[in-house]
Structure 1
Amino acid sequence: MNPLLDFSGLPRFDAVQPEHVTPAIRQLLDENRALTERLIAPETAATWDAFVQPMLDAGERLSRAWGIVGHLHSVNDVPPWREAYNAMLPEVSAFYADLGQNLALFAKYKALATGAEFPALSPARRRIIENELRDFRLSGAELPEEQKPRFKEIQEELSALGAKFSENVLDATNAHAEWIEDEAGTKGLPEDAKAAARAAAEKDGKPGWKFTLHAPSYIPVLQFCDNRDLRARMYRAYATRASEFGPAELDNGPLIDRLLALRNEEAKMLGYASFAEVSLATKMADTPGQVASFQRDMAAKARPFAERDIAELRRFAAAELGMDTLESWDLSWASEKLKQARYSFSDDEVKQYFPEPKVLAGLFRVIEALFAVKLAPDAAPVWHPAVRFFRIERGGKLIGQFYLDLYARETKRGGAWMDEAITRRRIQHGVQTPVAYLNCNFPAPVGEGTQMRPATFSHDDVITLFHECGHGLHHLLTQVDELPVSGIHGVEWDAVELPSQFMENFCWEWDVLSGMTAHAETGAPLPRALYDKMIAAKNFQSGLQTLRQIEFGLFDLLLHSEFVPGAGKGFMDLLADVRREVAVLVPPEWNRFPHSFSHIFGGGYAAGYYSYKWAEVLSADAYAAFEEAARSSGSTLDAATGERFWREILSVGGSRPALESFKAFRGREPQPDALLRHNGMAVAA
């Protein structure tokens, strides 16, 4: 049996091969098409059981199989898997485009929405029907018949361009390496970063140290390495990835122009003024103007702090480092020196207290304390030997499982993300438990055998891990039995980051950190004095960080709301305008950040990057409830508040509007005060 067609349990990563993809996906596409024809026939009643349930069952089989293929394309991007994925991507895109434009299907859903059964359906099922009707309209179902083929072509090309964009970024990242043969050229680098670079060189059979553009190699060079020439070369290579400064076949510039033109055309066909309006149709925010005002208001509050941050850095660099000019490749390095001078500690010093086993144990302890669950190792086939598998139980009963793929690899796309393998739903024999993929790009353990040294994580890495686990908990702790609104399904995009950003807050609590640290060499826990320094430095350059996020978010929004592709002004010109408006630090003219902005060109964040900051307001306000509880209980790991957060936010998934869920938890509308306070910017407000 083709392992991609086996839905009896977990994905069979020990058996599935690239050659399984085309026959399995084609069979599932054929089955779905045949079923759709039967369901749109007049004799099929427009009821949940006769019409919707069979659609969901067949659709899940296709999405699960294709999800495995997409996952392997992301974490094992070797040529055979890339070819297998890209071979079927056009057919899968075409199928969903056809489905979204099927007027008979649309009519069936409309008949159900106006029929006698609808008022008697559960709130979750009614929300699913309402979402389906909205999505049909966004998929072009109401377009004139003569326009539908063109709309379908747009969807297929957008899917292909998005995949190609991400592949170009990965290939351009892999294409560059820097070699240092004299150890003096590595001065300032942490020992584990040097060891990893040495191991990389040895793997290639070369002397010295090899540095790449992958985050575990690139970030330490920019942050710690005293070799300014190396920093400059690495920065330029990183900042010009997938642009006209490299191989023409990897240049994402033309892809960006094409993506923007197609999105604009799609919006106009649907009767919207811009693609941003299309994007916001499925989000909490109402209009591009509202989002722009939100971001500009945040920028105004952050700007005085950002200006103070950069003035302090320039003064320090001139007085203590002898640098009259700070270039972009100097900023992280000089900031680290300032941070060490001001707070008397370095990120590398902190990193030695976060070995992977202690971090995972601490993370699991937080989850167990908050949500009355138990986590334990489990067994399953995996796609790489470094991947681990865990189970979550509540009241002695299995409620979810997840894969943990922590380390960076050349065949794995960058960044960190959560994705679903299986979604909770009610099936014939009970409840199907959800399964998640949690993916990061952390440095791997160094050494071999008994000399193997566990991976150590920076505090930023720990925050990233908690963040992705927040997404995972949203998916895994749902109690909704209807797949389209179970877990993260059906949750407005600008609220999806609420649980993930909420979890980050625990990484700053002493009663959490003190129990998840042990020095890599001595085993000693994190000293309270060092923790106090970390807290003092928590909002170091928070003004600059906030403006950077708003720069990305406003650029994304204006790119999809006011920018007109091909009208004489390029997307780099728009980025320059945005920087003039909100930034206090402007990178070199040759910096090509948009060419690797995978969130909006290769992912799902187009006209939605603002969601990170929008959801930060929600998450900070939600966390404030735990801070309030801690005043009487003595700890933010408050079980009663955790139970309420689980019941009102995590368990309900997308079965009701996110604002309703927030108000059910907090008892009121969200307020920005907690976020400004957490970021040390409450005074300006």
Structure 2
Amino acid sequence: MDIAFLKNQLPDFNALDASQIEAVVDDLLASSRGALAEILNCDALPSWYNLVEPLEKIDQQFERVWGPIGHLDSVRNSDDWHTAYDSSMQKVTEYYTELGQNAGLFARFDGLANSEAYQALNLAQKKVVDNALRDFRLSGIDLPSEQQAEFKRISQRLSQLSSQFGNHVLKATQAWSKQITDSARLTGLPESAMGLLAQYAQQKQMEGWRITLDFPSYLAVMTHADDRSLREEVYRAFATRASEQSEFKEFDNSGLIEEIRQLRQQKASLLGFSSYADYSIATKMVETTDQVIGFLRDLAGKAKPQAQSELDSLKAFAAAELGLTDLQPWDITYASEKLKQASLSLSQEQLKPYFPVDHTLSGMFKIVEQLFGVKVAQKTGVSVWHDEVRFYELHNPAGEVIAGFYLDLYARENKRGGAWMDVVQSRWRHPQGDLHLPVAYLVCNFTPPIGDKQACLSHDEVTTLFHEFGHGLHHMLTEMEHLNISGIAGVPWDAVELPSQFMENFCWEREGLDLISAHIETGQTLPDDLFDSLKQSRHFQSAMMLARQLEFSLFDFLLHAEYDATNPEALADLMARVRDEVAVVIPPSYQRFAHSFSHIFAGGYAAGYFSYKWAEVLSADAFSLFEETGVLNQQTGFKFKNTILAAGGSVDPMVLFKAFRGREPQIDALLRHCGISDQPNAA
């Protein structure tokens, strides 16, 4: 197999081009099938050594070869690359579906699970075997051959549709832009935002300023532009991306969404589930769909009255102070920023100079060193996919390298929006004894540096950075050595957000802010008046934000839990029904949020977006122990590391949580962080 783009244990991203992808993947698949045949031809009774270990070798090779190909489709996208990636994705999906329906392989795992050899395995090894048997059943192993073929067809088609959906969102985001040559139209935008839009124009050899739908550009206009008609125009372009309402109808995701809904239901039905939501929670902490819906509606009941009160206050302010007597969705971010300045003497622009990116990173690493006893150091000479990307190593107290991660901070063309952590390679012990260290991708879309000035982060961007680094720590500080349960692998999706949301808390505490803040000109840490305002701002419109997240979560879950194949509810009708129940801000009829909802249509959160709120209960309650013992208490930090982080997917997360907290999780910490009173609602 020609894998020249793998350099030692890290990829050489510049040694692979689109013309090579399919050949490399074909070689990978042929090699994997050959190795699988050897496993199946083994005459000995199934054991860890002749079954699981050789399969892990196959999976580890997939991780190393296929992983960078998919990663570059997200961060360095091009038409040629995506076409080759999409074609290869179908072959990879076919392979994994075949693997999940391989009767011989299932029989060997089943034989191992019912043998004396299984009883001799440790708890982590037993979890690997148990997960494998569960996944066989969720891949259709028990289906008749005709239905297995149908399951395979559906899986391949869903993989293709998800890839197309994500690509449409990226292309639709890039397709729209607006040149501004009259600076008066941009009145209200701070100097940093003007510089960003000027830089966007210069990149296209344009005069003036160029607004795009990349989030830093979009947010700058929605937050600061005094020109209401401009805000509305940009809002409409963003809100209709990848839909029939957009001027770029070639990227319309409407048909893809309906086919995805239909095929997911068919897939679940083949396996005997009543809905795709039931299929989804088979691998999660929650036990029933009613449990999820009840959880979301209970939270909504607590949040909506306060959210309505917050919106009423905003409307009154906008009418009295801004002359906006008919507050519209494109006014809300703008008016909210003005209200925050008026009531808290605080704005994101005030905070940005206190978070120059290099100092904030350094402070975040100091927090991690204090909590978990690991040092982070940048390493040069590592192949990266863009000049702005950095690579870091984690060292234990003895100075040994234990992990690494790539950091890609800034928004740019041909890069998927949002922020995420992904796996470069997992911590894994080779059968011959070599330990492969965990390495992560950490990807964000922050406002890039302007000219030769260092970028400064908004506080929102700082919390996003900590969130993604929390995912990275979950991956990198694992002590597991089996791929199936190493890091985030095998962790139920509704628990995987616990470490990420946990890390966000340090962005709100004095002890954390003293380490991550230093004014770019004076070096001063965040002063007391701004700190006090920031702490108060955590509750600013917090119920409105919670209601919006619950809107997304309930929409996603009902979309998959209540799908009727004979009479599917129209997407717009479902969204309207959910908004009527939980939302306080109702967008215009042309808004098509679902058409760019990549989390559920192009990511891993289908019937699982509720995981953010479910895990936030755990993360807020976990952090409350730090509030009790000391925000940077190392003893508590080591306890978190050695229970939640070290165990990876080897132990049920509720068992881990109770081992850390000493009790069942409680919702009061989440409500307190959101500034919401846990009181019964009036009838």
Shorter chain as denominator, the TM-score bin is over 0.9
Match of 2:448 in 1: 444
Q: Secondary structure at the match of 1:493?
A: coil
Q: Residues 539-568 of structure 1, C-alpha deviation per residue, up to 9 Å, x if partnerless?
A: 100110111000000000000011225615
Q: Please state how far the C-alpha of 1:83 moved relative to its aligned partner.
A: 2.1
Is 2:486 aligned against 1:470? no
Partners of 1:352 and 1:519 within 8 A in 2: yes
- The one-letter amino acid of 2:410's match is Y
Is 2:500 aligned against 1:496? no
Instruction: Report the CA distance shift for 1:385/1:116 in structure 2 as closer, same or farther (over 3 A).
Output: same
Partners of 1:563 and 1:574 within 8 A in 2: no
Match of 2:27 in 1: 27
> Which residue, 383, 386, 389 being the options, matches 2:388?
386
Q: Please state how far the C-alpha of 1:5 moved relative to its aligned partner.
A: 6.9
Partners of 1:440 and 1:465 within 8 A in 2: yes
Q: Residues 366-401 of structure 1, C-alpha deviation per residue, up to 9 Å, x if partnerless?
A: 111100011111131101010000000112111100
- State the distance in 1 between where 2:214 and 2:414 align: 11
Match of 1:116 in 2: 116
Match of 1:676 in 2: 671
Q: Please state how far the C-alpha of 1:62 moved relative to its aligned partner.
A: 1.6
Q: Residues 231-288 of structure 1, C-alpha deviation per residue, up to 9 Å, x if partnerless?
A: 0000000000000023332110100000000000001100000000110000000111
Instruction: Report the CA distance shift for 1:178/1:248 in structure 2 as closer, same or farther (over 3 A).
Output: closer
Match of 2:660 in 1: 665
Instruction: Report the CA distance shift for 1:350/1:5 in structure 2 as closer, same or farther (over 3 A).
Output: closer
Q: Secondary structure at the match of 1:296?
A: helix
Instruction: Report the CA distance shift for 1:5/1:46 in structure 2 as closer, same or farther (over 3 A).
Output: farther
Is 2:93 aligned against 1:93? yes
- The one-letter amino acid of 1:218's match is Y
- State the distance in 2 between where 1:524 and 1:318 align: 37
- State the distance in 2 between where 1:57 and 1:138 align: 23
Partners of 1:3 and 1:20 within 8 A in 2: no
Write out aligned runs for 1:371-450 (5 A): 371-379=372-380, 380-395=382-397, 396-427=399-430, 428-447=432-451
Is 2:182 aligned against 1:182? yes
Q: Please state how far the C-alpha of 1:423 moved relative to its aligned partner.
A: 0.3
Q: Residues 40-62 of structure 1, C-alpha deviation per residue, up to 9 Å, x if partnerless?
A: 23614311101111011012102
- State the distance in 2 between where 1:131 and 1:7 align: 32
Q: Please state how far the C-alpha of 1:223 moved relative to its aligned partner.
A: 0.8
Write out aligned runs for 1:164-563 (5 A): 164-246=164-246, 247-379=248-380, 380-395=382-397, 396-427=399-430, 428-447=432-451, 452-563=452-563
- State the distance in 2 between where 1:273 and 1:7 align: 47
- State the distance in 2 between where 1:82 and 1:610 align: 30
Match of 2:72 in 1: 72
Q: Residues 299-348 of structure 1, C-alpha deviation per residue, up to 9 Å, x if partnerless?
A: 01111210110110011111111111011100000111111110112111
Q: TM-score, normalised by structure 2?
A: 0.97
Instruction: Report the CA distance shift for 1:444/1:5 in structure 2 as closer, same or farther (over 3 A).
Output: closer
Q: Please state how far the C-alpha of 1:64 moved relative to its aligned partner.
A: 2.0
- State the distance in 2 between where 1:524 and 1:666 align: 36
Q: Which runs of 5+ in 2 are unaligned?
A: none
- State the distance in 2 between where 1:202 and 1:479 align: 48
Partners of 2:63 and 2:424 within 8 A in 1: no
Q: Secondary structure at the match of 1:460?
A: helix
Q: Secondary structure at the match of 1:621?
A: helix
- State the distance in 1 between where 2:565 and 2:310 align: 36
Q: Please state how far the C-alpha of 1:511 moved relative to its aligned partner.
A: 1.8
- The one-letter amino acid of 1:399's match is I
Q: Please state how far the C-alpha of 1:147 moved relative to its aligned partner.
A: 1.1
Q: Secondary structure at the match of 1:437?
A: strand
- State the distance in 2 between where 1:42 and 1:500 align: 43
Q: Secondary structure at the match of 2:178?
A: strand
Partners of 2:240 and 2:591 within 8 A in 1: yes
- State the distance in 1 between where 2:239 and 2:564 align: 25
> Which residue, 646, 651, 658 being the options, matches 2:646?
651
Partners of 1:4 and 1:20 within 8 A in 2: no
- State the distance in 2 between where 1:488 and 1:597 align: 23
Match of 1:128 in 2: 128
Q: Please state how far the C-alpha of 1:522 moved relative to its aligned partner.
A: 3.7
- The one-letter amino acid of 1:637's match is L
Deviation larger for 204-213 or 66-75: 204-213
Q: Secondary structure at the match of 2:185?
A: helix
Q: Residues 125-182 of structure 1, C-alpha deviation per residue, up to 9 Å, x if partnerless?
A: 1001111111000001110111111110100000010000000000000011122111
Q: Please state how far the C-alpha of 1:20 moved relative to its aligned partner.
A: 2.6
Deviation larger for 509-518 or 329-338: 509-518
Q: Please state how far the C-alpha of 1:572 moved relative to its aligned partner.
A: 1.4
- The one-letter amino acid of 1:647's match is N
Q: Residues 158-207 of structure 1, C-alpha deviation per residue, up to 9 Å, x if partnerless?
A: 00100000000000000111221111111111111100101111222222
Q: Secondary structure at the match of 2:422?
A: strand
Instruction: Report the CA distance shift for 1:42/1:512 in structure 2 as closer, same or farther (over 3 A).
Output: closer
Partners of 2:371 and 2:638 within 8 A in 1: yes
- The one-letter amino acid of 1:324's match is T
Partners of 1:4 and 1:24 within 8 A in 2: no
- State the distance in 2 between where 1:345 and 1:63 align: 45
Instruction: Report the CA distance shift for 1:121/1:7 in structure 2 as closer, same or farther (over 3 A).
Output: farther
Partners of 2:93 and 2:159 within 8 A in 1: yes
Q: Which runs of 5+ in 1 are unaligned?
A: 631-635
| Cα root mean square deviation, aligned | 1.3
- State the distance in 1 between where 2:505 and 2:639 align: 17
Partners of 2:668 and 2:678 within 8 A in 1: no
- State the distance in 1 between where 2:472 and 2:355 align: 22
Deviation larger for 259-268 or 568-577: 568-577
Q: Residues 619-667 of structure 1, C-alpha deviation per residue, up to 9 Å, x if partnerless?
A: 000000100102xxxxx01100000000010001001111111111111
Deviation larger for 612-621 or 46-55: 46-55
Partners of 2:513 and 2:525 within 8 A in 1: no
Q: How many residues align?
A: 676
- State the distance in 2 between where 1:565 and 1:455 align: 50
Q: Secondary structure at the match of 1:3?
A: coil
Q: Please state how far the C-alpha of 1:569 moved relative to its aligned partner.
A: 2.8
- State the distance in 2 between where 1:89 and 1:568 align: 29
- State the distance in 1 between where 2:92 and 2:260 align: 19
Q: Residues 558-612 of structure 1, C-alpha deviation per residue, up to 9 Å, x if partnerless?
A: 0001122561531111011000111111101110000000000000000000000
Write out aligned runs for 1:142-161 (5 A): 142-161=142-161
- State the distance in 2 between where 1:195 and 1:6 align: 39
Match of 1:633 in 2: none
Q: Residues 495-522 of structure 1, C-alpha deviation per residue, up to 9 Å, x if partnerless?
A: 0000000000000011211232222344
- The one-letter amino acid of 2:643's match is E
Q: Secondary structure at the match of 1:313?
A: helix
- The one-letter amino acid of 1:670's match is P
Instruction: Report the CA distance shift for 1:159/1:315 in structure 2 as closer, same or farther (over 3 A).
Output: same
Partners of 1:494 and 1:612 within 8 A in 2: yes
Partners of 1:354 and 1:516 within 8 A in 2: yes
Q: Secondary structure at the match of 2:515?
A: coil
- State the distance in 1 between where 2:201 and 2:2 align: 40
